[in-house]
C-alpha cells in the first residue's frame, strides 16, 4: 500500500456504528481512504440487513420490555440446559451455590460438561450428532473444515434474525458479530471480550527518572527507546538495558506497520483483499525495526526467545517496554514489586499524532455459543435459550460473575465490593464466566487498581481507532490447507530482514515465493468470499 493510500483522516468504529444505525444495517459504500475504508469494508460484510437494528443505543429501547416478553413463550417450567464448554482446570462441583444462584435467577436447570480436550472430542461429537443444547466453539475451531461444513450444513441454528429481539445480546458490538459470522450469517453468540486490547507496557519509574513522556509519534517512540537503552535507567552503571523486549514472533513489526497505515493482516483496496506484508507501510515498519535492532534498542536474542521467557526478561529489568495487552500490566507490576517495591508500570495504546493513531483490532470474542438443531428441536426452545443468555448480562448476574456471592466471595467495604478470598473465588466462581456472552459491564464496581482502570480506559479508546482484519470472518480453503506454511515463510523473512540476513530485494523475493506457494490463491479466495458477502 503506497503512502497515498495510507490513512489521513481516521474514522472511528463508533462513527461507523452510527452510519450503520442510520441505514438499518443495509450495505455501506466502501470508503476511499485508510481506516475509514477498512472499517466500512469489514462492517459492510454484515449480511444482517435490519436484523441487528437494535444494536444501536437508539434502537427502539422503549420496546425493551415488549422484546423481553416476546423472546420466549411464557412458562413456569425450568429450562433444562446442557452446556459444553472448553475448560482447563478443576471444574466446580455440580449443584454448588453459584450454579444454584444462576438457575434460580434464570429459571433453569443447568448441566455443564467441562471439556479439556475439545480439539479431539468436538469433531467426533459434531459428526455423530451427539451434542448438548449449547456448544462452546473456540476461535481455533471455528474455521476448521468440519465446523465450517457443520455450520453451512444446517447443523446449528442460524441466529441472524433473532438477535434484535434481545436487549442485551443486541447491544454487542456489530463488528464482533461480523468477526464471528460465516458467509455473513450469525451461527453463534460471541463470548465477548474487548475489540482491541492493544497496549505497550513500559517502566513508568524509568520514564520519571529519565524525564520521558509517552510518545505520540514514531520519532518520539524511537527517542524514548534510545534513552532507555543508553542512559542507564536502572542505575547500575552498566550498558545492559534495551529499549524494547521482543520474542520470536516480532510483533512490534505488525504493531508499527498499523501505526504507519498498513492493514491489519488483510485490508480492502479497490474491492480486493490486500495482504499487509505486501504493502509499502509494512516495509517501512520492517526498516524501522531493523534500525532498532542495528542500534541495539531491542534485545539481540529475540529470534530465539520463547514467549514464556519474554515477560520474564522484562520483569528482570532487561528492557523498558514490551508490546502486550491491557490485561497483563497489573499482573506484571505485582510480580515485579515482590523483588523491587519501587517498580511502577504504565501503558499507552497508540501514537495519536501518527496518521490519526490507528491500532490493531482483534476479533472481540473467545469463541461462540452455538445451538445444535439435533438437541434444540424447536424455535420456542431456541428463544428460551437466547433469553437465558440475555438474562446473564443483567446487573444481578453480571455482579455474580464478577464478584461471586455476597458474604462468601465478596463483602461490601464503604459501599464497594471487595473479594474475601481470591482462591475460593477462582475455584467456585471464575469457571462460570465461561457461560457469559456479554461482558460483566453492568456489575457492581469496586475500587480497582490504577492499572486495571487504565486498561479498561485503553480498551474503550482502542475501539474508536481499531483497524479490523478484513478477512477475519472469511474462508479460504487454500489458507485452511497451507496457512501455517505461508505464515511461517513470511515470519522467517521478517526475522531475517530485521537481523540483516536479507535486504529489501530478499524481502520482495520472499513475498514472491509466498504468492507462488499459494498466497495469490488465498488472496483470490478471500476476495471472492468478500464479494459474495457484499454482493448487491
pLDDT digits (tens, 9 = 90+) for 317-363: 999 999 999 999 999 999 999 999 999 999 999 999 999 999 999 99
107 and 397 in contact (C-beta within 8 Å)? no
β partners of residue 109: 80
Per-residue CA distances from 528 to 26, 153, 195 (Å): 20, 20, 26
Euclidean distance between CA atoms 213 and 220, whole angstroms: 9
pTM assigned to the model: 0.85
Contact partners, residue 284, CB within 8 Å, separation at least 6: 257, 260
Give the confidence band of 116 by pLDDT, cuts at 50, 70, 90: confident
Grid cell locating 54:
437494535
| Contacting residues for 238 by C-beta, under 8 A, at least 6 apart | 232
pLDDT band at 485 (very low <50, low <70, confident <90, very high): very high
What single-letter DSSP state applies at residue 182?
Answer: B
Residues 157-191 have pLDDT tens digits of 999 999 999 999 999 999 999 999 999 999 999 99
Instruction: Quote the CA–CA distance of 99 and 92 in Å, as a whole number.
Output: 9
- The per-residue pLDDT for 284 is 98
Average confidence (pLDDT) over 189-198: 96
Q: Which of 330, 343, 361 is nearest to 461 (CA)?
A: 361
Task: Examine the pLDDT at 37 and tell me if it is beyond 50.
Answer: no
Q: Mean of the pLDDT values across residues 451-458?
A: 96
Give the span between the Cα atoms of 460 and 468, in whole angstroms: 15
Q: Distance (Å, rounded) from C-alpha 174 to C-alpha 17? A: 8
Residue 395 backbone phi and psi in degrees, to 5 = -50, -40
Assign 73 a pLDDT band (cuts: 50, 70, 90): low
Under DSSP, the state recorded for 319 is B
> What is the structure's pLDDT at 536?
54
**413/507 Cα distance (integer angstroms):** 59
DSSP letter (8 states) at residue 316? T
Q: Is the pLDDT of residue 30 over 70?
A: no
Cell (9 digits) for 203: 517502566
Q: How far is CA 293 from the centre of its chain?
A: 29
Q: Which residue has the cell 411464557?
A: 74
Residue pair 356/9 in contact (Cβ under 8 Å)? The answer is yes
Name the more confident of 286 and 40: 286
Q: What is the DSSP letter of 28?
A: P
Q: Tell me the β-bridge partners of 135.
A: 84, 370
Q: Tell me the pLDDT band of 69, cut-offs 50, 70 and 90.
A: very low
pLDDT at site 64:
37
Q: Given a cut of 60, is residue 67 above it in pLDDT?
A: no
Statement: residue 392 has pLDDT above 80: yes
What's the pLDDT band for 8 if we cut at 50, 70, 90?
very low
Higher pLDDT, 260 or 534: 260
Contact criterion met (CB below 8 Å) for 458 and 326: yes
Share the mean pLDDT of the chain.
87
Q: For residues 85 and 99, give the distance between their C-alpha atoms in angstroms, rounded to a whole number.
A: 15
The single-letter DSSP state of residue 242 is B
419 φ, ψ to 5°?
-65, 140
The DSSP bridge partners found for residue 413 are: 416
**Length of the chain in residues, anyone?**
536
CA distance 41 to 497: 31
Give, as one character, the DSSP assignment of residue 156.
B
Measure the CA dihedral 387/389/392/395, to 10°: -60
Instruction: Give the confidence band of 60 by pLDDT, cuts at 50, 70, 90.
Output: very low
- The model's confidence at residue 535, banded by pLDDT at 50, 70 and 90, is confident
Strand 134-137 with 79-86, pairing:
parallel
Helix-strand-coil split of the chain, %, nearest 5: 45, 15, 40
Residue 10, pLDDT above cutoff 50:
no
CA-nearest of 277, 212, 206, 203 to 245 is 203
Give pLDDT, residue 360.
96
Task: For the beta carbon of residue 237, count every other beta carbon within 10 angstroms.
Answer: 7
Cell match 465477548: residue?
A: 192
Instruction: Annotate 365-392 with DSSP letters as a single string.
Output: EEEEEE-BTTTS-SHHHHHHHHHHHHHT
Distance CA 100, CA 93 (A): 11
Q: What is the pLDDT of residue 75?
A: 65
Predicted confidence band of residue 119 (pLDDT cuts 50, 70, 90): confident
Q: What is the DSSP string of 84-146?
A: EEE--SPPPPTT-HHHHHHHHHHTEEEEEEEES-HHHHHHHHHHHT---SEEEE-HHHHTSHH
- Tell me the CA distances in angstroms from 309 to 143, 167, 253, 314, 335, one per residue in order: 30, 44, 19, 9, 14
Of 131 and 71, which is predicted with more confidence? 131
pLDDT at 244: 98
pLDDT at 460 over 60: yes
Q: Would strands 365-370 and 189-192 be described as parallel, antiparallel, or unpaired?
A: antiparallel
Q: What is the pLDDT of residue 51?
A: 42
> Regarding predicted confidence, which is higher, 9 or 423?
423
Amino acid at each position: 500500500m503506497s503512502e497515498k493510500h495510507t490513512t489521513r483522516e481516521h474514522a472511528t468504529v463508533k462513527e461507523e456504528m452510527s452510519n450503520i444505525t442510520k441505514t438499518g444495517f443495509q450495505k455501506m459504500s466502501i470508503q476511499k481512504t485508510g481506516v475509514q475504508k477498512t472499517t466500512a469494508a469489514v462492517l459492510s460484510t454484515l449480511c444482517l440487513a435490519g436484523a441487528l437494528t437494535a444494536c444501536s443505543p437508539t434502537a427502539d429501547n422503549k420496546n425493551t420490555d415488549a422484546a423481553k416478553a416476546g423472546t420466549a413463550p411464557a412458562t413456569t417450567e425450568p429450562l433444562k440446559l446442557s452446556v459444553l464448554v472448553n475448560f482447563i482446570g478443576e471444574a466446580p462441583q455440580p449443584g454448588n451455590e453459584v450454579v444454584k444462584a444462576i438457575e434460580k435467577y434464570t429459571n433453569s436447570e443447568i448441566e455443564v460438561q467441562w471439556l479439556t480436550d475439545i480439539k479431539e472430542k468436538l469433531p467426533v461429537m459434531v459428526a455423530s450428532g451427539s451434542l448438548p443444547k449449547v456448544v462452546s466453539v473456540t476461535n481455533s475451531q471455528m474455521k476448521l473444515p468440519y465446523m465450517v461444513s457443520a455450520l453451512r450444513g444446517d447443523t446449528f441454528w442460524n441466529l441472524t434474525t433473532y438477535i434484535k429481539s434481545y436487549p442485551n445480546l443486541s447491544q454487542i458490538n456489530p463488528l464482533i458479530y461480523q468477526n464471528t459470522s460465516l458467509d455473513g450469517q450469525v451461527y453463534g453468540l460471541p463470548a465477548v471480550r474487548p475489540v482491541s486490547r492493544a497496549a505497550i507496557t513500559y517502566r513508568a519509574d524509568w520514564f520519571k527518572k529519565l524525564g520521558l513522556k509517552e510518545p505520540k509519534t514514531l520519532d518520539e517512540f524511537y527517542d524514548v527507546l534510545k534513552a532507555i537503552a543508553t542512559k542507564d535507567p536502572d542505575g547500575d552503571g552498566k550498558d545492559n538495558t534495551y529499549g524494547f523486549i521482543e520474542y520470536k514472533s516480532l510483533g512490534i513489526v505488525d504493531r508499527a506497520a498499523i501505526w504507519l497505515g498498513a492493514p491489519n493482516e488483510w485490508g480492502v483496496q479497490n474491492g480486493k483483499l490486500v495482504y499487509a506484508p505486501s504493502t509499502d507501510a509494512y516495509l517501512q515498519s520492517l526498516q524501522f525495526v531493523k534500525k532498532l535492532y542495528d542500534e541495539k534498542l531491542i534485545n539481540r536474542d529475540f529470534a530465539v526467545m520463547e514467549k514464556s521467557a519474554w515477560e520474564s526478561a522484562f520483569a528482570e529489568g532487561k528492557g523498558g517496554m514490551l508490546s502486550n495487552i491491557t490485561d497483563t500490566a497489573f499482573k506484571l507490576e505485582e510480580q515485579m514489586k515482590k523483588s523491587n517495591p519501587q517498580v511502577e508500570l504504565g501503558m499507552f495504546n497508540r501514537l495519536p499524532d501518527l496518521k490519526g493513531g490507528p491500532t490493531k483490532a482483534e476479533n472481540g470474542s473467545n469463541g461462540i455459543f452455538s445451538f445444535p438443531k439435533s438437541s434444540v428441536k424447536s424455535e420456542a426452545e431456541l428463544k428460551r435459550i437466547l433469553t437465558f443468555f440475555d438474562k446473564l448480562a443483567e446487573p444481578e448476574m453480571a455482579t455474580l460473575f464478577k464478584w461471586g456471592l455476597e458474604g462468601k466471595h465478596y463483602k461490601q467495604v464503604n459501599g464497594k465490593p471487595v473479594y474475601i478470598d481470591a482462591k475460593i473465588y477462582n475455584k467456585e466462581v471464575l469457571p462460570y464466566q465461561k457461560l457469559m456472552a456479554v461482558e460483566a459491564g453492568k456489575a457492581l464496581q469496586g475500587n480497582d487498581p490504577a492499572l486495571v482502570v487504565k486498561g479498561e480506559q485503553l480498551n474503550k479508546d482502542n475501539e474508536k481507532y481499531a483497524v479490523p482484519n478484513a478477512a477475519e470472518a472469511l474462508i479460504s480453503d487454500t489458507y485452511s490447507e497451507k496457512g501455517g506454511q505461508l505464515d511461517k515463510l513470511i515470519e522467517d523473512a521478517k526475522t531475517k530482514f530485521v537481523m540483516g540476513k536479507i535486504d529489501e530485494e530478499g524481502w520482495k523475493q520472499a513475498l514472491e515465493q509466498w504468492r507462488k506457494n499459494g498466497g495469490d490463491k488465498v488472496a483470490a479466495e478471500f476476495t471472492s468470499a468478500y464479494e459474495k458477502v457484499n454482493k448487491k
